[in-house]
A and B are shown apart, each in its own frame.
Chain A
Amino acid sequence: QQQVKQSPQSLIVQKGGISIINCAYENTAFDYFPWYQQFPGKGPALLIAIRPDVSEKKEGRFTISFNKSAKQFSLHIMDSQPGDSATYFCAASKDDGKLTFGQGTILTVHP
């Protein structure tokens, strides 16, 4: 019940395209859903996060869509750029301080 399933494992997008990464969770006690971006050799950086009382949150080119009934959430990257090429992790948390991560998506944006 603690799992977060993330897809796809890898994604190739052309510059200017939309990148979409999906996650699904099982534990209905989760109440915080962040996305992290990680470049090779660096630590994960908090990108954007959402709570289940909101269906969508947008920050610049990054949007989280959240479907509470389906227990799914997704990250959309609009106008994808080569500099967005990185590994993206979704995660879920409840009030115990533990982040449950998805397995990650390697995004490659071709120029």
Chain B
Amino acid sequence: DTEVTQTPKHLVMGMTNKKSLKCEQHMGHRAMYWYKQKAKKPPELMFVYSYEKLSINESVPSRFSPECPNSSLLNLHLHALQPEDSALYLCASSPSGTSSYEQYFGPGTRLTVT
């Protein structure tokens, strides 16, 4: 199984809502990532977890809160988002922590903030 799965595929939320994005991988990978991608742009790194510990936060606003409950699961909790946060949110994983280089992406969650 070489797949990173993400749920939901689409999410529409108001600016006062609280919602969560979920990412799972069952490849035994030890690093997991959240990226944000706007249309026609490359992915932008948000957070990195290595061995279930937050290792990189790219100065992301606190309305985005990551959580890594176990080595297979990564969540992104969303609260009080702005319309400009509408984007494709991608999860990725890599085999041996952040030193293993290869990153495998999930299909993404298309988020619309109204």
Contacts and interface: CB of A to CB of B under 8 A. Distances in A.
Contact of A43 (B97, B101, B108): B108
Contacts of B107: 41-43
B90 A43 contact: yes
Interface stretch (A58-66, A68-76, A90-98): A90-98
A89 B42 contact: yes
Given A43-B90, A43-B107, A104 B42 contact: yes
B99 A43 contact: no
Interface residues of B, number: 28
Given A43-B90, A43-B107, A43-B108, A99 B45 contact: yes
B56 A97 contact: yes
A34 B45 CA distance: 16
A102 B102 CA distance: 17
A32 B101 contact: yes
B56 A98 contact: yes
A86 interface: no
A46 B103 contact: yes
Contact of A95 (B33, B98, B104): B98
Contacts of A45: 105
Contacts of A104: 40-42
A46 B42 contact: no
Contacts of A49: 101-102
Q: Which of B4, B41, B50 has the most CB of A within 10 A?
A: B41
Closest 5 CB pairs of A and B: A97-B98, A101-B42, A43-B105, A32-B101, A43-B107
Interface of B: 4, 6, 31, 33, 40-43, 45, 48, 50, 55-56, 90, 92, 94, 97-99, 101-108, 110
